[in-house]
């Protein structure tokens, strides 16, 4: 834990010096936050509970039999 006397000191502590190896770790962590969602967004309607459960078990990139997508307005 770091303590600072002013907001300016705290703001300067956020920056890393050029060539600091911690820059790569910070970039990896931020890149993980920016990843695209694995599942498609939206609301889907299924005819049966079994169809919904089967769609849940399938890979998110497999659109076959994913159900009927409801229109969103």
Cβ burial of 55 (10 Å; 0-12, 13-18, 19+) is middle
**Minimal CA–CA distance to 62: which of 45, 39, 35, 37?**
39
What's the pLDDT score for residue 16? 84
Per-residue pLDDT tens listing for the chain (73 residues): 889 999 999 998 888 888 888 999 988 888 888 877 676 677 888 999 999 899 888 866 555 555 555 555 5
Angle ∠(67,71,73) on CA atoms, nearest 5? 155
CB 46 within 8 A of CB 55: yes
Domain ranges across the chain: 7-59
CA gap 40, 53 in Å, rounded: 16
What's the pLDDT score for residue 68? 54
């Amino acid at each position: 834990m770091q303590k600072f006397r002013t907001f300016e000191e705290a703001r300067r502590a956020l920056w890393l010096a050029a060539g600091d190896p911690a820059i790569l770790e910070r970039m990896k962590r931020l890149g993980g936050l920016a990843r695209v969602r694995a599942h498609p967004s939206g609301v889907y309607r299924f005819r049966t509970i079994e169809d919904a459960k089967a769609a849940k078990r399938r890979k998110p990139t497999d659109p076959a039999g994913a159900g009927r997508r409801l229109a969103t307005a």
